[in-house]
Amino acid sequence: MEDQTVKVLQADITSERVDVIVNAANEYLRHGGGLAAALASVGGEEFVADSDRWVSEHGPIRSGDAAVTVGGRLQATWVVHVVGPRYREGQDNPALLRDAIRAALDASARVGAETVAMPAISTGVFGYPLDAATEVIASQCIRWVQQHRGVLREIRLVGYDGRTAAAFRRGLERAIAAAPPTGSGSR
Ligand code: APR
- pLDDT tens for 69-96 read 999 999 999 999 999 999 999 999 999 9
2 C-alpha to ligand 1 centroid (Å): 31
Torsion from C-alpha of 145, 146, 149, 150, nearest 10 degrees:
40
Any atom of ligand 1 within 6 Å of the Cβ of 25: yes
Any atom of ligand 1 within 6 Å of the Cβ of 32: yes
Please name the residues in contact with 86: beta carbons below 8 A apart, sequence gap of 6 or more.
122, 126, 127
What's residue 102's pLDDT? Answer: 98
Are 104 and 145 spatial neighbours (Cβ–Cβ below 8 Å)? no
Q: What is the pLDDT of residues 136-152, one digit of tens each?
A: 999 999 999 999 998 99
Of 96 and 187, the structure prediction assigns the larger pLDDT to 96
- Measured on CA atoms in the order 27, 52, 108, 20, is the torsion positive or negative? negative
Strand-pair partners of 146: none
Are 69 and 47 spatial neighbours (Cβ–Cβ below 8 Å)? yes
What's residue 179's pLDDT? Answer: 80
pTM of the predicted model, to two decimals?
A: 0.95
61 C-alpha to ligand 1 centroid (Å): 17
What's residue 1's pLDDT? Answer: 41
Percent of the chain's residues with pLDDT above 90:
91
The helix or strand, by DSSP H or E, that contains position 53, with its residue range, turns out to be helix 34-58
Give yes or no for residue 105 having a pLDDT over 50: yes
2: pLDDT confidence band, cut at 50, 70 and 90?
low
3: pLDDT confidence band, cut at 50, 70 and 90?
confident
- Ligand 1: which of 28, 35, 42, 157 to mutate, most ligand atoms within 8 Å of CB? 35
Residue 105 CA to residue 113 CA, distance in Å, equals 9
The dihedral region occupied by 122, where left means phi > 0, alpha psi between -120 and 50, and beta the remainder, is left
Secondary structure of 129-156 as H, E, C letters: CHHHHHHHHHHHHHHHHHHCCCCCCEEE
Q: What is the pLDDT of residues 13-59, one digit of tens each?
A: 999 999 999 999 999 999 999 999 999 999 999 999 999 999 999 99
